[in-house]
Amino acid sequence: MSLVAVRRALETALDGISPALATAWENLKFTPTPGTPYQRVNLLAAPPLNPEMGGFVQERGFMQVALAYPLEGGPGAALARAETIRATFKRGTSFTAPANEPDGVTLDLDFTTETYSAWEPFIVTTTVANTPEIAPALFEDDRYVVPVRVPFYANYTPEE
């Protein structure tokens, strides 16, 4: 459940960067528009840590954002976007998201017209572990690609 929350938190923050950039989200259909930049997103999880006995877990890994820009446009626009991502995901910045979904349990009290939910979200906080890395550019077909790696960790104790 926690990697769902980690992904949700990091992808929401990335999606909020302005100006918006077309995004190829992991395992979703995407067709790039020729001549238009876009970004590809992957969450790469490392083995979790269990630094103490009990339920405490530390999820680790990085979100990789591959900035794919048209060839022959120079590196400036891609590097500027990489710097914007780096500024959004500064070391120590935290993002939160629920690790669970509403379970559909509601209370319908006959003497009122209100319905009350008994659901309480389990919130996971994801923290940027270090300054994001802007890796060397590479070439893919008609694209100049600059990978940006955002390292993260999320500490939590799973729900019982």
Query: Average pLDDT for residues 108-136, to the nearest whole number?
Result: 75
Which pLDDT value is given to residue 107? 46
pLDDT tier for residue 124 given thresholds of 50, 70 and 90: confident
Which pLDDT value is given to residue 21? 97
d(CA 7, CA 28): 14
CA nearest neighbour of 89 among 16, 28, 23: 16
Domains of the chain, with CATH numbers? 2-156 (3.30.2000.20)
Which of the residue ranges 40-54, 76-90, 122-136, 144-158 would you say has the lowest mean pLDDT? 40-54
